[in-house]
Structure 1
Amino acid sequence: MPFCMVVNCGRTSIRDGPFSSFFRIPSKFNNNHKIDNLRSERRKKWIAALKRSDLTELKLKYGRVCSKHFIAGKPAQLSDTENPDWVPSQNLGYTSSTFSKISARSRYVRAMKRRIEVTPLNYKLNIYTKDEQIKPPISMESLDLALRECNRELYELRAKVNQLQFTQEYFVNSDQNTLYYTGLPTYQHLQCLYELVESDIVITHSSKLSKFQQLILVLIKLRLNLPFIDLGNRFSCSRTTVSRIFFSILEILYDKLQSFIIWPDRDDLRTNVPRCFKENFSNTSVIVDCFEVFIEKPSNLQAATKTWSNYKHHHTVKFLIGITPQGAICYISNAYGGRASDKFITEDCDFLDNLVPGDLVLADRGFLINNSVELCYAKLLTPAFKRGKKQLSAKEVEDTRTLAHVRIHVERVIGILRQKYVILRDTLPIEMLKKKCDDDFSFIDKLVVVCCGLINLGPPIISLE
């Protein structure tokens, strides 16, 4: 197992392999197994840079230096001796003054150049007298230092450019960046997601973005809903390329993340019942509600009628969502027109097929599905209605308050879903309702499934305590 020999680094190929490269200590032998002076010099400088007194031939043979210790992330070519990465120089576990000395000396050389005064030299000749302006010669050492300084600045600027291009290095040490741009709580969560989809992302010799950058582009779109032209500017590619990447990676994420939205086994539910459910709702299997997403007005009159929501006063599509008592999303329906009632959606989709005898379903007053739930030998619990009465009884008021205390968790999950992925709060283009010719699901169906799957990747919403 390769490990990094640099003091206090500790990177290994097993733990950090996907995000680090590991390089051998240079050998002093060439391809003909003869000692090479340039290779020997480089080997000595590498060993000197490590500053370790416990190095043996065995450790030098099997030890490695990781990409963290090079400005460009890898060593320079053997012949490129002026390159700052000819020897590891970054994060070596001790304070190095090499670059500061070079910088100081190069500044001195530049200052001396500015201070050079033109010195007239008078040559008295028999024929005529002429003034010559001669600058003192610049030594090779000064030029060498200036070149090294320029190379170092070049590699540092390249490293900064890499950070601005949303590479893995931009996220690896910043959970804050990960959360802001992707909605995932830590880089470890992002790494797991990338490993899940990496093998399905296809890149060619003409691809401008790496596999990781393509994933990040889609997550940023879901998280912040930046326009395609904005994303194109950020990733240095055209709007058409961004659109193509978004829809292709969305398909991959949908294929992988739909398995994260599962109806849990009843025994698992009973084993992990949160405290707020134990006393009155210990048999709860699912809490359901509907939420709506704004869309553009369809040009077709019939479609416009079906998508008009009297509740939102806007054209919308509507989804049925179900969560477990622990707060995990266990069901999400396909999109329905905003005009559809909660009752119609619940009975039309395959939600009821998941119920088993003895299940308890918690819902709001609008879910008039008692008969449908009872046909599954399950029980529906909703807040009490007045039903012509002037007011509810004291028991009904208390029962409603107790139910509202636990049913509010589904509203919390919907709120987190919409807050974390801004695309669900904005008005989506009508093209998102289209389906591929051989597909039963529209793009908006897949988009919502992906967002729900990403929510389930995070920590539990409801504590067991």
Structure 2
Amino acid sequence: MGKEPSSYARVCSKQFREEDFVYRVGARMFGWKKRCLEAGAVPSKNLPVCSLDRPRTEHTLDVQAQPSEYEIQQSLGTSAFSNHQDVNNEDGLEDVPAAALAFRREIGIQVNPLDAVRHQPLSIAHVKTQKDLSVIGGLPCYQLFYNICVVYTESRMLMQAKSFCLCNEDAVLMTMMKLHHNVPFLLIGVLSGIHRTTAADVFEATIATLAEILQTAVFWSSKEAVVDNLTVHFKEYRNVCAALDCTEIPLQRPKDLESQLLTYSWYKGTYTAKVVVCETPGGHIIFMSKAYGGRASDSFITKEI
């Protein structure tokens, strides 16, 4: 390496010959084992071999060319001719040897071990009954679900050019499940067979499209429709058209201090978003205000709308 060796440097004695060593006077007589190398001695035994100097063995695969269709036909024809004693005279068919048939079957078999099937328990294909659909997504019937999916598919093609790893029906079902149960994206990813970040991206894109197409479903009902759908508890209050309620939705803790001050609700003891929901006595939502921070009072929001 070009470095000057020190006086205490040591080398491996197995790399030098016996003639390269110098013994002190009387060393052999008294059995002294300490010895020194001659000046200019060069290692000549048991030298290490560089990886580039090692002999290489060429590993070649024994690849056999696949026989053509003509060769297979010739092989089958020759085998059938050589075994003509097995001819069935009644049917006019020959018993081709089993080895030739097995050989032809193996030629046609192609297996791709990398073609893995994604496990997806949360899919509309696994929802067998309307009760299951109601439990998962809160939708009462298949007809409503597929009507939403049809409009969603048309709107998504206009609003989003990027495609999902899930079909449109499964994306809508996953979004409805998130809204109905508020389960974490980690669990949704496991049920959908995708990563949690992918599930969050699909939900974010799907909820924006559904908000555009479902906002027309929130409309102010007529007086006659409200009276015709009164419940037992409102039979004595036939003049009531709607009931107002300030609903608080829990949020994660915001990162910045200003958002924490605006969203913290002393009533709930956590960070919330507050909206005014207007419902008919029959339970139909006919109005929803924009979202406010949990710090805003109910009277302030009611005056604003």
Q: TM-score, normalised by structure 1?
A: 0.38
* Match of residue 181 from structure 1: 136
Q: 1:256 aligns with which of 181, 202, 213?
A: 213
Opposite residue 301 of structure 1, the aligned amino acid is L
Residue by residue, what CA displacement relative to the aligned partner does 1:230-288 show, whole Å, maximum 9, x if unpaired? Answer: 43343343444322221111011111111111111223323443443233x11111111
Q: State the secondary structure of the residue aligned to 1:292.
A: strand
One-letter amino acid of the counterpart of residue 288, structure 1: L
Superposition map of 1:56-75 within 5 A:
none
Q: 1:299 to 1:192 in 2, by over 3 A?
A: same
Q: Which amino acid aligns with 1:293?
A: I
Check conservation: 1:163, 1:169, Cα contact below 8 A: no
Alpha-carbon distance change, 262 to 234 in structure 1, aligned in 2, over 3 angstroms: same
Q: Which residue of 1 aligns with 2:284?
A: 328
Q: 1:205 to 1:263 in 2, by over 3 A?
A: closer
- Give the one of 186, 193, 198 matched to 2:153: 198
Q: Give the corresponding residue for 1:337.
A: 293
Distance change in 2, residues 1:343/1:166 (3 Å): same
Q: How many residues align?
A: 204
The Cα of 1:207 is off from its aligned counterpart by 4.1
**Does 1:242 pair with 2:208?**
no
Asked which structure has the greater CA Rg, the reply is 2
Once residues 162 and 342 of structure 1 are traced to their aligned partners in structure 2, the CA distance between those partners, rounded to angstroms, is 48
Q: Mark the CA change 1:267 to 1:344 in structure 2 (over 3 Å): closer, same or farther.
A: same
Q: How do 1:129-140 and structure 2 match up within 5 A?
A: none
Q: Does the 8 Å CA contact 2:275/2:291 hold for their aligned counterparts? A: yes
* Aligned residue in 2 for 1:221: 178
Task: Point out 4+ residue stretches in structure 1 off by more than 6 angstroms.
Answer: 139-145, 203-206
Compute the displacement of 1:348 (Å).
Answer: 0.7
Partners of 1:339 and 1:166 in 2: how far apart? 37
Residues 217 and 231, structure 1, Cα contact 8 Å, conserved in 2: yes
Q: Which residue in 1 is equivalent to 2:227?
A: 270
Q: One-letter code of the match for 1:178?
A: L
Q: Which runs of 5+ in 2 are unaligned?
A: 1-96, 111-115
**Root-mean-square deviation (CA), in Å?**
3.6
Give the number of the structure whose residues are more often helix, by fraction: 1
Deviation of the 1:201 alpha carbon:
2.5
Give the drift of 1:198: 2.0
**1:190 shift after superposition:** 1.8
Equivalent residue for 2:303, pick from 315, 339, 347: 347
Q: 1:310 aligns with which of 266, 291, 299?
A: 266
Contact 1:197 1:256 in 2 (8 A): yes
AA at the equivalent of 2:271: H
Higher relative contact order (CA 8 A, sep 6+): 1
- CA drift at 1:299: 3.6
- In the other structure, the counterpart of 1:211 is 168
Distance 1:339 1:319 in 2: 12
Of 181-190 and 234-243, more deviation after overlay is shown by: 234-243
Percent of aligned positions that are identical: 28
Mark the CA change 1:189 to 1:144 in structure 2 (over 3 Å): closer, same or farther. farther
3-state DSSP class of the match of 2:245?
A: strand
TM-superposed CA distance for 1:343, in Å, is 1.0
Amino acid at match of 2:176: L
